[in-house]
Amino acid sequence: METFLSSLSNELFKLRRRKKYLVFLILGCAICVISALRVLLVNYLTDGSVDPAAVLGGLMSSNLTFILLIFLPLMAVMAASDLFVAEQADHTIRFSLMRPVGKGKLFFSKALAVFVLCAFDLAVMYLVTTLAQVGLGGGTEGVLTSLGACLLDLIPLAVLILFFCLVNQVGRGSGLTVLLCVVCYIGLLVLGTYLPAVGGLVFTGYLRWHNLWIGITLPFFSLLPRIGLLAGYGLVFGCGGYWLFDRKEA
């Protein structure tokens, strides 16, 4: 466990050194704040006759579609590419393999580092959005519900990250691998949206996992197949990604 945590700390340090993630986080927070500023526009157009709480209530919930389907997948794609295929392309991964850590621990520490980055971004955007909602007079309506939704949505996000890590073992160049991840992700989203018959079997359809637990009241036993489906996808992506990573030469 100590070597795994040391490897995780090393991978997180690599991500912290890349300023682009901070820039993208600032841009994401700015988009969330701009969406909150619509209350000022509404009040201006209606001469203050609209209650801010009615417009801004549950602001984070309204931003979750952008955060979960666009922003966090983009962060995961870039981070997975930087930690896997980019290091393999310039052979800097050899320095990680020289450390006393096995390939299994190295693979999953990289995947966990991507997850920690995305979870941190989600937490920061939740905090910024909540402060914007309260600061603009929207009150605290939906704040706890949004927090619960964010925590639940970390589960399918982890599966998506393992999928991107798997794809990174197939690609050769960093740019092509990022493109491949994006094309596969968009294709799965379209497949799940426009083919309802198979939509329930595509894991990207569960990125807004909170809808099953908060938005729709279903018996727990009805949710068990969906939980098993996500767990199965996670096992396949994790084991498949590690197997390909183990077979690759540094």
pLDDT over threshold 80, residue 24: yes
> Cα torsion at 24, 141, 207, 194 (round to 10°)?
-110
Mean per-residue pLDDT, 193-198: 70
Q: Among 34-43, 73-82, 142-151, which stretch is predicted with the lowest mean pLDDT?
A: 34-43
pTM of the model: 0.88
Instruction: Please write the tens of the pLDDT for every residue from 105-153.
Output: 889 999 999 999 999 999 999 999 888 888 777 677 778 888 888 888 8
Helix (H) or strand (E) holding 168: helix 143-168
Q: Distance (Å, rounded) from C-alpha 77 to C-alpha 182?
A: 8
Q: How distant is the alpha carbon of residue 78 from its chain centre?
A: 11
Total structural domains within the chain: 1
pLDDT over threshold 60, residue 167: yes
**Which letter does DSSP use for residue 201 in this model?**
T
Cβ–Cβ contacts within 10 Å for residue 202, how many? 18
User: Domain range holding 58?
Assistant: 2-247
Stated length of the chain? 250
pLDDT over threshold 60, residue 54: no
Instruction: Please write the tens of the pLDDT for every residue from 207-240.
Output: 777 777 676 665 666 677 778 888 898 999 999 9
Give pLDDT, residue 86.
Answer: 85
